[in-house]
């Protein structure tokens, strides 16, 4: 029994927090999909994103965890909710029943595939804590992944310019 505890990580506070965070993340993600009201779905997604931030924190990636909450929960999801409230979307708003069944089949297939992949690829053993300080992340972003970093910046700039152009057309 004690060997089981040691292997599962339940002998430490971090282990308990991991299982708590992981369970809440999974429940939040499931409820995001299963909620009939779009607004509740978006709120459950915030729960899921915050729980993933807890998992990052347990891995020592404090910068990524803070960014996860700041950017996703604090800004992007707020904009999502903002749009849902602005359009006043009710349950099943704008979804055709035919599309819904296709989406269900595709979604379940993708979920089954990824679950199989994840379960078969987990080898056991503890995850390695990383150096998650701002300095380490900065060195990686502006060193090893400089090209990808800059390419994504250009991509975002294109999206911003595109949004401005679309908005301008509406005005004139």
Partner 1 sequence: MQDLVSFLNSQLQTVFGLSETLFPYVAAAMVLAIAFGFTVFAAVYAGVFIFFERRIAGRIMSRIGPNRVGPQGLLQFIADAVKLIFKEDIIPTSADRPLFKLAPYLMFIGVVAGFAVLPFSHRVIAADLNVGLLYVLAITSITVVGVLMSGWASNSKWALFGGMRSAAQLVSYEIPSGLALLPAVLLSGSLSTQEIIMAQAGSPEHALTAGGWPWNWYIFHSPMMFVCFVIFFIAQLAEGARLPFDLPEGESELVSGYNTEYSGFRFGAYFTAEFANTWIAGALCVIVFFGGWQIPGAAVPSAEAIAASGATWTWFGYSIEYAGWGAFWLEALSFLFFIVKMAGVVFIIIQLRWTVPRVRIDQMMTICWKYLLPLTFACLFLILGWMIVLPWESTAALVVRIVMALAGAVLLALYAWRVRYNIHSAGDKVYPHWII
* Residue 27 interacting with partner 1 (CB under 8 A): no
User: 3-class DSSP state for residue 44?
Assistant: helix
* CA dist list (Å): 7 to 106, 128, 141: 36, 15, 34
Dist CA 21 CA 104 (whole Å): 27
**Residue nearer to partner 1 on the CB measure, 79 or 154:** 79
Count Cβ atoms within 10 A of the Cβ of residue 128 and give its class: 0-12 exposed, 13-18 middle, 19 or more buried: exposed
The only residue of 6, 23, 75, 156 in contact with partner 1, by rule CB under 8 A: 75
Q: Nearer to partner 1 by C-beta: 6 or 111?
A: 6
Distance CA 54, CA 109 (A): 28
Is residue 35 close enough to count as binding partner 1 by CB under 8 A? Answer: no
Rounded to an integer, what distance in angstroms lies between the CA atom of residue 98 and that of residue 105?
A: 11
Residue 108 C-beta: closest distance to partner 1, Å = 28
Residue 63, interface with partner 1 (CB under 8 A)? yes
Reported residue count of the chain is 172
* 55 is an interface residue for partner 1 by CB under 8 A: no
* Footprint (CB under 8 A) of partner 1, residues 133-152: 133-134
Among 82, 99, 114, 145, binds partner 1 (CB under 8 A): 82
Binding site for partner 1 (CB under 8 A): 12-13, 39-40, 43, 46, 62-63, 65-67, 69-70, 73-75, 77-79, 81-82, 85-86, 133-134
């Amino acid at each position: 029994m004690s060997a089981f505890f040691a292997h599962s990580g339940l002998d430490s506070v971090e282990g308990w927090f991991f299982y708590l965070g992981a369970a809440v993340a999974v429940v939040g993600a499931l409820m995001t999909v299963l909620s009939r009201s779009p607004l509740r779905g978006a709120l459950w997604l915030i729960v899921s994103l915050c729980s993933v931030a807890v998992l990052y924190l347990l891995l020592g990636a404090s910068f990524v965890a803070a960014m996860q909450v700041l950017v996703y929960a604090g800004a992007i999801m707020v904009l999502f909710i903002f749009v849902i409230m602005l359009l006043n979307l009710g349950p099943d708003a704008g979804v055709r029943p035919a599309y819904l069944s296709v989406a269900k089949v595709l979604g379940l297939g993708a979920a089954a595939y990824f679950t199989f992949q994840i379960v078969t690829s987990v080898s056991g053993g503890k995850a390695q804590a990383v150096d998650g300080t701002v300095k380490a992340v900065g060195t990686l972003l502006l060193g090893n992944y400089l090209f990808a970093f800059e390419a994504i910046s250009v991509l975002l700039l294109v999206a911003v310019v595109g949004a401005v152009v679309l908005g301008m057309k509406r005005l004139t």
